[in-house]
Amino acid sequence: MWTSVNVRRPSLSGVARLVRSKRYLARAVVALVLSVLAIVWGYPYLGGNQLPTQQGQAQIYLSSPLTLNTVPYAETVIKSSLAIPRYSASLGASYNIIGVLIDTRPHTEQITGYNGTTYYYTKWATELIIWNGKFVNGTTTNQQVLNNGGVTIMESSAPPGVNSTRSALSLLAPSVVCTTHTAPGGATETTCQTLNQSNGAYIKKIRGLAVIVSPQSGAVTWLNDKNLRWYQVTSETVGIDRLLAIADTLIP
């Protein structure tokens, strides 16, 4: 019987895949993500419909209708302004912001930093969705958007004391996953495996911030330690160069 699985460092493959999800994730998976992400200072997790996969593998999405909010309403909920990218030059004039998902409503969260200090901060997470298709709120599904050129801009709060470069390096570093097996009679055996996190991802410095560019995942991710926000620009169908160009407009 398999009794336990220990994840010693967050996986860019697993984490980046999870934050690209588009709807509500099973509670058990969310709990696992929260416990792992505490190590990297509140990397944005967005509740979703995506089943976790290793980076570079095909993703499995659970299709569900999207119910989106306006930007002003989302800003009222999180009591802060959202970053609005300049996207027309990269995507074309036909694209528009179709709405915002509020994945995590503001709540107080506790986290322990690298220096052992405990911080309390207001945690929230949103997804701003850009698309050039015909969107009907409550009817158009996430798969219709994702599979036809949709782009999401994820934004999440981060606690005090974070560092852009340190967090990026932590996400790209190898992780060790250990599994404990209990044999008949009660004897236990633990096996560990080191996982390669990068799979082609690399860090690009943009105006002092460490930006993770992950072509296989179709994602550009960074922590802005000046305004305490995580960001990720991601798409299933738009090329990484165009996503990086959009990300560049969000970095002051």
For residue 209, what are its two tokens? 């911030």
pLDDT at 3: 34
Whole-structure pTM over 0.75, yes or no?
no
Helix H or strand E segment including 206:
strand 202-206
Do 104 and 145 meet the contact criterion of CB atoms below 8 Å apart?
A: no
pLDDT at 84: 97
- In the chain, which stretches have pLDDT less than 70? 1-62, 196-198
Q: How many residues does the chain have?
A: 252
pLDDT at 37: 32
Contacts of residue 188, defined as CB under 8 A and 6 or more positions apart, other chains included, come to: 3, 180, 181, 182
Residues spanned by the domain of 224:
2-250
Number of domains in the chain: 1
HSE at residue 206, side-chain half, CA atoms within 13 A, is 21
